[in-house]
């Protein structure tokens, strides 16, 4: 995978900056693929973490992820305001990885935002990313392939996450579906 990735991305830095959207199921290899792709694209790398350490298990997961990235990443924890982050910081990076969009949507729902407000934020973020001075990789879970959730909040989350994924995928230059650690390009 790494050899093919390097071949595909070798002239990336001389081309226009682009947005890559990576989706798939839990533990499908999305984050690993995103980080490997970012390593090929640029030297100044930002990892934008949307997760919040709300319990000990999540704190441990975050620490494991941080260690696995190494020291050559600028880690920015931003669970809510991706728009102002990109407005103010995008010119500082060659590549930014947002991991993950699904948690961002969950954070917005948990903060009481309406579906309309979340979709407007997603549109605004996608527009600012399209104008950004850096390449961007967006990681997001595909949440719509399981059974229909049994409660209104879970159904709402599934529906809004799917719509936000569609917004980001439509703005992206490339879209990948991850299956068992294998990236399948679908756009």
Would you name the residues annotated as active-site residues? Answer: 65
Give the full edge-to-edge strand order of the sheet including 135-141.
73-77, 45-49, 95-99, 135-141, 19-24, 174-179, 182-185
Peptide bond into 166 cis (omega under 30): no
Contact residues for 164 (Cβ-Cβ < 8 A; gap 6+):
101, 105, 118, 119, 122, 140
Backbone angles phi, psi at 80, to 5 degrees: -130, -55
Residue that has been written with the tokens 């990789």 in this structure: 137
For residues 109 and 101, is the Cβ–Cβ distance under 8 A? no
Neighbours of 31 (CB within 10 A): 20
């Amino acid at each position: 995978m790494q050899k093919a990735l390097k071949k595909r991305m070798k002239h990336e830095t001389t081309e226009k900056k682009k947005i890559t959207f990576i989706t798939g199921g839990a533990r499908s290899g999305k984050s690993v693929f995103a980080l490997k792709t970012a390593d090929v694209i640029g030297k100044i790398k930002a990892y934008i973490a949307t997760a919040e350490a709300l319990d000990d298990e999540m704190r441990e997961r975050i620490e494991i992820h941080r260690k696995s990235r190494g020291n050559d990443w600028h880690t920015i924890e931003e669970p809510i305001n991706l728009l102002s982050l990109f407005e103010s910081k995008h010119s500082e990076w060659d590549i930014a990885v947002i991991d993950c969009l699904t948690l961002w949507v969950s954070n917005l729902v948990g903060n009481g935002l309406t579906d309309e407000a979340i979709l407007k934020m997603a549109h605004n973020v996608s527009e600012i990313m399209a104008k950004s001075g850096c390449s961007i990789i967006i990681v997001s879970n595909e949440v719509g392939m399981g059974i229909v959730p049994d409660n209104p909040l879970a159904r709402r989350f599934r529906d809004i996450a799917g719509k936000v994924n569609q917004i980001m995928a439509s703005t992206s230059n490339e879209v990948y579906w991850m299956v068992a650690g294998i990236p399948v390009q679908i756009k």
